[in-house]
């Protein structure tokens, strides 16, 4: 499987595809790959001539040093995982100084109001880091199509905005959330959960499912109150936020408007591990 550890390696590896005018699909990841990543890669393979998967734990999007340090990095396992999907996948795993061409710092973006809601509010600087690294990755890979999970729904909206702001010629494709049988959204951070926390974590999915059901007949404040009360009584999970928002502006919603589309979003801690999830309500 082609492995490019520098941007110049990648340029060389992709040159024949570019010459032929082939479609390049791109799946950016931070590694510790699971079937959620796999679902994006499989879709990219079915819609492009060549697929690049980047593995890069981006320092500038972590607002918590311990979270960055403890982020799992099972690189050899990741290569085996991708090789089993398709040995033609191009893996791009650059060094930070190579990708950033020097100092590893964030640019400051004007993403507008969507960046100050939810993840933006609770993780200051996070979306500037995400925007900075994706801008660099997009310029290195020059993909036709790039694939992002709705698992990080707010990030997906930020990426669409980034592409507009940076005027990048790439189609952004959102992919549905891949879940374990018990409903837990797959996440690299799940590897850090103890067996007890792992058994408790599907409560997140159950709470979102209940909100989805209740959305048919209850008010938004009532749904939010009940979700908050359910977490307050939970012995293992600690809620950071539970919000219902319209999918376009991601502003906290208090009332339902018939023409709008809503999702419920939450972040919760299992010990030190921060988990996020979301679900469409209508």
Q: Enumerate binding residues for ligand AMP (CB under 6 A).
A: 29-30, 36-37, 39-40, 148-149, 151-152, 175, 177-178, 185-188
**CA distance linking residue 256 with residue 253, whole number of Å:** 7
Long-range contacts of the stretch 221-225 (C-beta < 8 A, 24+): 221/254, 223/264
Could you tell me the smallest distance in angstroms from the CB atom of residue 272 to ligand AMP? 17
Catalytic residue, from 37, 126, 178, 248: name it.
37
With the C-alpha atoms ordered 192, 195, 201, 202, is the resulting torsion angle positive or negative? positive
The answer to whether 37 is a known catalytic residue is yes
Q: Which residue has the tokens 């799940």?
A: 190
Could you tell me the smallest distance in angstroms from the CB atom of residue 160 to ligand AMP? 12
Could you tell me the smallest distance in angstroms from the CB atom of residue 130 to ligand AMP? 9
- Judged by beta carbon, residue 50 or residue 149, the one nearer ligand AMP is 149
Q: Which of 150, 138, 160, 146 is nearest to 26 (CA)?
A: 146
- Judged by beta carbon, residue 190 or residue 224, the one nearer ligand AMP is 190
- Judged by beta carbon, residue 276 or residue 281, the one nearer ligand AMP is 276
Q: Is the separation of the CB atoms in 69 and 160 below 8 Å? A: no
Q: Which residue has the tokens 């007949």?
A: 217
- Judged by beta carbon, residue 133 or residue 223, the one nearer ligand AMP is 133
Could you tell me the smallest distance in angstroms from the CB atom of residue 56 to ligand AMP? 9
Active site residues: 37
């Amino acid at each position: 499987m082609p492995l490019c550890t520098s941007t110049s390696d990648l340029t060389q590896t992709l040159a024949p595809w570019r010459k032929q005018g082939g479609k390049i699909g791109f799946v950016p990841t931070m590694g510790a790959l699971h079937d959620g990543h796999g679902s994006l890669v499989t879709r990219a393979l079915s819609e492009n001539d060549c697929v690049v998967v980047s593995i890069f734990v981006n320092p500038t999007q972590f607002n918590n040093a311990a979270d960055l340090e403890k982020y799992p990095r099972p690189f050899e396992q990741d290569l085996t995982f991708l090789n089993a999907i398709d040995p033609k996948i191009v893996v791009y795993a650059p060094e930070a100084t190579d990708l950033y061409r020097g100092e590893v710092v964030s640019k400051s973006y004007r993403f507008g109001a969507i960046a100050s809601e939810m993840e933006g509010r609770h993780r200051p600087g996070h979306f500037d880091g995400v925007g900075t690294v994706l801008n660099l990755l997009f310029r290195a890979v020059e993909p036709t199509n790039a694939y992002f999970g709705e698992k990080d729904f707010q990030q997906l909206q930020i990426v669409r905005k980034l592409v507009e702001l940076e005027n990048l010629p790439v189609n952004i494709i959102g992919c549905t959330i891949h879940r374990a049988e018990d409903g837990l959204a797959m996440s690299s951070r799940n590897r850090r959960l103890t067996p007890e926390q792992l058994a408790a974590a599907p409560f997140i999915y159950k709470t979102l499912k209940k909100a989805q059901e209740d959305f048919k007949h209850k008010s938004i404040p009532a749904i939010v109150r009940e979700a908050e009360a359910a977490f307050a009584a939970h012995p293992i999970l600690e809620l950071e936020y539970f919000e219902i928002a319209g999918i376009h502006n991601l502003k906290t919603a208090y009332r339902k408007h018939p023409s709008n589309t809503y999702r419920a979003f939450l972040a919760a801690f299992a010990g030190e591990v921060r988990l996020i999830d979301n679900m469409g309500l209508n």
